[in-house]
Amino acid sequence: MKRVHVCAAVVVLLLTISGAASAQQAQGPDTLAVVGHQLENGRYSLSLETYAATERSMIGLKERAPFGAGILVWAEPSHTLLLALWDAEQPAESTRERLRAWSPLVDIEGSLGTSHPRVTILYEPSFDEGIVIEVARLNGERETLMGAKVDMSSFNVTTKLPGAGGYKNEGYRHCCSGGDCGTMCTSCVDGYFTCDLVACTISCGW
């Protein structure tokens, strides 16, 4: 069962939990897929798909590697926390409260191993240039998994993390698609990349 908590200061106009979270769904283990689209009247559609292949134990509890106890989706540089997804299998209430303390526009309880939340919220990108996805670990640490510089009005990106599918030397595999560009991919040493749907290019770094 999945539960949803909405920040009191924000009205969520539509929220569904769906197995079809994105047009470009996560393929293979340890992969993130994110789709964002600006709608009318200040509404914004955001979907996140995660697939984790392994579990690991930390401080006597299990966390779904590589996604830890929770996932945070930030819009940057405004540092707006669009979505917090926390693991329903974690008994630690402190982890949930820590995620909520960052005031996400919406937070969802679900399985980080196979999660497909899709939300429509009140948010306008204004001067935001991209998204950053972090994992919140059980030990309190945070780690960046993806940093995508994109056109926030409409984007579709995926990141396959190092070691996914057993290919440990490939680094991060980033892909994006949209417009007339088709699907473009590149391999990088970290989670940061830039997707340009005007020039139809994808490159490492932000």
The residues, any chain, with a CB within 8 Å of residue 23's CB and separated by 6 or more, are: 35, 156, 177
Domain membership of residue 176 (yes or no) is: no
The HSE-up count of residue 102 (CA atoms within 13 Å, CB side) is 24
- pTM score, two decimals? 0.79
Domain membership of residue 203 (yes or no) is: no
CATH of the domain at 104: 2.60.40
Domain membership of residue 150 (yes or no) is: yes
> Stretch 28-46: mean pLDDT, rounded?
89
| Per-residue pLDDT tens digits for 64-73 | 555 667 889 9
> Stretch 170-185: mean pLDDT, rounded?
91
Domain membership of residue 201 (yes or no) is: no
Sign of CA dihedral 103, 106, 110, 114: negative
Comparing C-alpha atoms, which of 145, 5, 132, 137 is closest to residue 61?
Answer: 137
pLDDT in the model for residue 13: 41
pLDDT in the model for residue 91: 56
| Per-residue pLDDT tens digits for 117-139 | 899 999 999 899 999 999 887 77
Domain membership of residue 70 (yes or no) is: yes
More confident residue, 23 or 191: 191
Domain membership of residue 172 (yes or no) is: no
Give me the domain span that covers residue 14: 3-167
pLDDT band at 94 (very low <50, low <70, confident <90, very high): low
